Amino acid sequence: MIYKFVFGIAIAFLLAAFHFPALSPHLLSTLSNIYPDSFPGLALLLLRVSIGGLFILHGYPKITHLRQWAESLKMPIFMCFLSAASMLGGGIFLIIGFLTLLGTLPILCSMIFAIYLHIAGHKPFVAQDPYLIPPDQYQGANGQGEPPSWEKAFMYCVMLIAIAVLGPGAYSLDALIFGR
């Protein structure tokens, strides 16, 4: 239920932005006085490198234990290979900022599929915090852990869409090569 509320607020902000177009330039000009010109490039660099590093950390164990991962998901090995390779390769491309859009799209597809698997498995959007769960009710793979939800895959989708839409930023190979 809370995700419907959050989604409603996000829609309200989007509608407000379209109904008050004069607000956007004023807000942006105010912010430009606060932030230096390099701020957007640095923020995109931080976002790209962080997300790229996380996907390398997620992709490497999956590709090195491909059969085990495919069996746990009950998916064909080839599909799991494509997903793991997209995480690993896309993570590298995101870190260096090379062919950024092509690096984000395959990972985004994997994350959308992960959301689908969670929803099909009736997992909640946001799981109850582990400290609120009685110790005997949830045990993760290595003991106490975080209950499954699709919140993390959703947030990765949001961040990947932001990178795809905003581009790699000034501090990237794409900017160096293509002059963006």
Mean pLDDT for each consecutive 10-residue tract of the chain (180 residues)?
A: 54 54 53 58 90 94 93 92 94 93 93 91 76 60 65 93 90 83
To 10 degrees, what angle do helices 66-73 and 77-96 make?
Answer: 120
Domain ranges of the chain: 1-34, 38-178
| Residue 37 confidence (pLDDT) | 59
At 74, the amino acid letter reads: K
| Residue 49 confidence (pLDDT) | 93
CA distances from 78 to 63, 69, 82, 91, 106 (A): 11, 11, 6, 19, 14
| Residue 41 confidence (pLDDT) | 79
Burial category of 173 from C-beta neighbours within 10 Å (exposed 0-12, middle 13-18, buried 19 and up): middle
C-beta separation of 59 from 82 below 8 A: no
| Residue 106 confidence (pLDDT) | 95
